[in-house]
């Protein structure tokens, strides 16, 4: 994912502020996931962290961490039959939408999605 469409014509001060805020928000998302904050929306926070990492320059570490946390969450939240542990159809649908969105974003940036995704 690229932010060129936003930043290409922007002033340097805006580019720096955009990157700083994006990095700060990524850090908040990362900490929330590390602390095991109750998510319940089917991988939305993991998706946000991964997309932030893809949008900001030099954030390979955040992308790797986001994918690692996503894989751990999938192991906990997705049952062997493919259903969400909550058995709530709305959460199951949200999970599917988020996972598909992550995979699509990775592919659009020519990043091969992990085989588990």
From the CB of residue 91, how many other CB atoms can be counted at a distance below 10 Å? 19
Q: Are 77 and 85 in contact (CB under 8 A)?
A: yes
Q: CA-to-CA distance for 27 and 111, rounded, in angstroms?
A: 22
**How do residues 8-58 score in pLDDT, each as one tens digit?**
677 888 878 877 887 787 777 778 777 776 655 668 888 888 888 888 777
- pTM here is 0.77
Confidence category of residue 99, pLDDT binned at 50, 70, 90: very high
Confidence category of residue 102, pLDDT binned at 50, 70, 90: very high
């Amino acid at each position: 994912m690229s932010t060129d469409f936003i930043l290409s014509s922007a002033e340097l001060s805006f580019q720096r502020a955009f990157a700083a805020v994006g990095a700060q928000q990524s850090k908040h998302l990362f900490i929330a996931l590390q602390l095991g904050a109750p998510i319940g929306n089917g991988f939305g926070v993991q998706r946000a962290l991964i997309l932030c990492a893809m949008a900001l320059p030099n954030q390979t570490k955040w992308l790797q961490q986001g994918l690692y946390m996503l894989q751990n969450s999938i192991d906990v939240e997705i049952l062997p039959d493919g259903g969400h542990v909550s058995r709530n159809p709305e959460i199951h649908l949200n999970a599917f939408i988020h996972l598909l969105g992550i995979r699509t974003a990775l592919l659009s940036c020519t990043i091969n999605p992990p085989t588990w995704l």
